[in-house]
Structure 1
Amino acid sequence: MTIASPPLTITEMSVPAHLEGADAADFHAVVALNNAVCLSDSGLHDFARTAEELLPHWQDRADDVNRGFIAREGDVIVGAVLLCYAVAETTSVELDLMVLPEHWGRGVEQALLKRAEEEVRLLGRTVIQAWTLHRPDAGASPLVPKTGWGVVSATPHARLLQDDGFTLEQVERNSAYDLQSDPARVRRMLQEALREAGADYRLVEWTLPTPPERRDGYAWALSRMSTDAPSGELAVDEEIWDAQRVARRDARFLDGGQTVSVAAVEHVPTGTLAAFNELVIGTAPADVTHQYCTLVLKEHRGHRLGLLVKCANILRWRAIAPSSPRISTFNAEENRPMLAINEAMGFVPVSSSGAWQKLLN
């Protein structure tokens, strides 16, 4: 006798005030689902997050809004889709579809994707962007992005997006650096980069919170991530940052128990920041370290500043998080200057991601 599955329902997740509250069960479940999907897709534990880290980013809606929609069959959670969109920038919405393999193929993923698009249209936004994680082996029939750089495997998730009208715009390489390795090479490369940069550039470092006197300059540097980082044909709104937005971002990291180290380069003649690198870890000393933003502003390229900030921050980080095993970072495959720096430092490719985009009529 065949037993019919309970009907599928999709409801919006409420954001709890506290993780210990009775209303926090769904939030904990979605965080666990996200971690399980990342592990299944990449084969790596590196992308696991904690509810403690994530909750401040969901509670603070001053700059970005996070929303979640949970799919259930009866009382069983079988998938979720997350939406994230900036308040000031009004073009696009980021989508994160999460369905484990055992629930794939029964219509759950299609229903969640349809609900997500309905919500995006209600917001009046015209672009949906999504990311897929992939293991290193792209298989016999890999997918090639519009940039022409890199490939990813044709996973069910990738094929679903493709069939729904998404275009693979860009591939990012996920690389890892062994923090327990001999730092002699990094020290040597830092000294070479300092000599190449010369007297016009000065290394400055801090651990969040950003010093008040640095917030305006750091706001300008962070805003340039939206204009200067390689993004293919992804629709990217120019971001507006100020000192208050930097302080709010700092607070979200710190309220989530995270430690963030920044290595930056100041252009001495103008007093502006020319490059920066961020390393982030959670509360557990043996957590994987994540590199977040790294950028050399366009007008300051050609002085080995990218190498300078990356090497300086790694050496600083060894004292901050001595038990962290490795750094995980993503870079666009067409960003050959930054990938060349990574490779020379000892980063190795371990997975990849696909950046997808759908333009709504």
Structure 2
Amino acid sequence: MSQPPTESTPTWRIVEAPHPTDLDSPDAWAYLGIAQVEAEVTTEIHGYDDLADEARDVLAGMDSQEYTTKQRFVAVRTDAPETPGPQDVLGHLAVALPTSSNTHLGELSVQVRPAHRRHGIGSALWETGEQVLVDAGRTVLFTDTQHGTEPPPGPGALEARTGAGRVPADDPGPRFVRSKGYVLEQVERHSILPLPVDPGALDRLRAQALAAAGPDHRTHVWEDDVPEQWREQVGTLFTRMSTDAPLGDIDFREDPWDARRVGVWVEELRAKGHGLLMTVAEHVPSGTLAAFSVLDYPEDRPAFAYQEDTLVLREHRGRRLGMLVKVVNLDELAVRRPTTERIHTWNAEENDHMLAINIDLGFTPAGGYAGWQKRVGA
């Protein structure tokens, strides 16, 4: 006769998530469960689930392994049936091993349903993830936490090593990752732009940006794809994002992109069911793409979008091209996706220039994204 579980007997087990061919497969239970956990955790933090990965995001991300090797693990109830259901997933672990660059670095992320915390699930998943990364020879480990508010300076706040940005010291995420030896390196401000933007303000910003850019610059707008003839230059812009955006002391090194990688990125976005809107600024005399800004959005969730990368090449700065590509993208979004009510974006708290652009556009603070790092070898 089997013995009843005791307080020291786990009521869950950790398994590697099966990778289904599609979300209708019986093996999709783990990815569907991961999406449930994501929704619970992000709703607890922010009060909404805009920022939660959906099951199709997990599936498409795991299908795309060309530049990063990814693994997913889940904590499952021990009393779950042979084929568990999504509700049997109590927590999950995502592990990422970059393979085309930054091969010293490994990333991990753990989430546990709020009702099942403080039972060792998070620690067991974390140990599994760290072991995968260390066994792969990674010497710098990176993770992140999300926060719905940024606290004022004081004893309840933990400040990033950059000296800009804080997180609540007693939030579950910071408490947990600090206990695992991670250091808060950087905080990004999460901001939200309510739409529509005041037309008068947008007209003023557009006019200023066009005047500063002058006749040597023109914009192009692309929806759901990047034309083949421009992909190599867009790859250069993404490469420069990896070196030019503020990172504090996070040991993230140049991440080269080329035309092929841009195509893979587009394919993954589309596989997730996301739309893409990209505005670029071309320096006409040289034919160089000097700036870009990217919006993406889940096509079946029409109320919100994500403002992703925006960059102006260093040699083309001082002409308000960052504002120009953002304003044009907003103009196009209003025409092509008028249902959008809000845009989420993230910027390093020390990135005064980009934050100033966003404030001028009407973005307001909505919390933070914290980057944590731990070194485990020479």
**How would you bin the TM-score normalised by the shorter chain?**
over 0.9
**Partners of 1:256 and 1:2 in 2: how far apart?**
41
Q: Pick from 31, 34, 38: which aligns with 2:38? A: 34
Equivalent position amino acid for 1:102 in 2: A
- Counterpart position of 1:49: 53
**Partners of 1:263 and 1:115 in 2: how far apart?**
41
- Counterpart position of 2:370: 354
1:188 Cα deviation after fit: 2.0
Q: Pick from 61, 75, 79: which aligns with 2:91? A: 79
**Partners of 2:115 and 2:58 in 1: how far apart?**
26
Q: Deviations over 1:182-221 (max 9, x none)?
A: 3331232012111111223221211121111111111111
**Partners of 1:197 and 1:290 in 2: how far apart?**
25
Q: What TM-score results when the alignment is normalised by the length of structure 1?
A: 0.95
Alpha-carbon contact 1:217-1:272 (below 8 Å) kept: yes
Q: How does 1:58-207 map to 2 (within 5 A)?
A: 58-74=62-78, 75=80, 76-89=88-101, 90-138=103-151, 141-154=156-169, 155-207=171-223
**What is the aligned-residue identity percentage?**
34
- Counterpart position of 2:29: 25
- Counterpart position of 2:328: 312
Equivalent position amino acid for 1:184 in 2: G
Aligned length: 361
Q: Deviations over 1:316-351 (max 9, x none)?
A: 111121111100000000000000111111000111
Instruction: Describe the SS at the equivalent of 1:292.
Output: strand
**Partners of 2:180 and 2:112 in 1: how far apart?**
16
- Counterpart position of 1:291: 307
Runs of at least 4 residues of structure 1 off by over 6 A?
none
Instruction: Describe the SS at the equivalent of 1:302.
Output: coil
- Counterpart position of 2:254: 238
Q: What TM-score results when the alignment is normalised by the length of structure 2?
A: 0.91
Structure 1 residue runs of 5 or longer lacking an equivalent are: none
**Partners of 1:52 and 1:79 in 2: how far apart?**
18
**Partners of 1:267 and 1:181 in 2: how far apart?**
28
Instruction: Describe the SS at the equivalent of 1:180.
Output: coil
Q: How does 1:255-274 map to 2 (within 5 A)?
A: 255-274=271-290
Structure 2 residue runs of 5 or longer lacking an equivalent are: 81-87
Alpha-carbon contact 1:30-1:80 (below 8 Å) kept: yes
- Counterpart position of 1:281: 297
1:53 Cα deviation after fit: 3.6
**Partners of 2:12 and 2:301 in 1: how far apart?**
41
- Cα–Cα, structure 1 residues 125 and 6, in superposed 2: closer, same or farther, change >3 Å? closer
Alpha-carbon contact 1:53-1:258 (below 8 Å) kept: no
RMSD: 1.8
